[in-house]
Amino acid sequence: MKSLSVARLFEDQRQELQLEQLTETLASRREITVSDINRPGMALMGFIENFLPERIQIMAQTELTYLAALQPAGVREAVDRLFQFSMPLIVVCKALNPPPYLVRRANECEVPVLRTPQSTTPFIHSLTLYLDHMFAPPTRPRSTWSSAAIAWWRTTW
């Protein structure tokens, strides 16, 4: 299975995706292995049965507005619920500020948090294009001729 480090993604796409590092390190306990992304709003609210932790988590207005509406104890509970899973990366869109507790837990759990000023949907499209390219199967030459067939062809012409 192919994998991609968060550090490599950051290095490759820092300018294009306008990425800013919010955590202390880009080291992650879990590498990126799929090109799909996830919006963790439902998990923050308590529904974790279908949560997909192997995917990059994208947080934006909806998730952060929800967290902002909670009392501090509720924020801790929601964030801790998310960090019970090993995730490769969290990206915050629209230059929004995640709660300090989220960044603290990310540092403790070795889940890098990046931020971009880009709007969510265009960012997801650009990130997915990059990931699809990185995880695409290698291409092979189209020719199916064997070396013996090529040698025969050369001798007959």
Q: CA 31, CA 56: separation in Å to the nearest integer? A: 10
Per-residue pLDDT tens listing for the chain (157 residues)? 699 999 999 999 999 999 999 999 999 999 999 999 999 999 999 999 999 999 999 999 999 999 999 999 999 999 999 999 999 999 999 999 999 999 999 999 999 999 999 999 999 999 999 999 999 987 766 555 555 655 565 566 5
What's the token pair of residue 7? 């550090």
Q: What ranges do the domains of the chain cover?
A: 6-156
Spatial CB neighbours of 83, under 8 Å, sequence gap ≥ 6: 105, 106, 108, 109, 111
Q: Facing residues of 90 across strands?
A: 57, 113
> Was domain 6-156 assigned CATH 3.30.413.10?
no
pTM: 0.86
Q: Which of 131, 89, 129 is nearest to 111 (CA)?
A: 89
Can you give the length of the chain in residues? 157
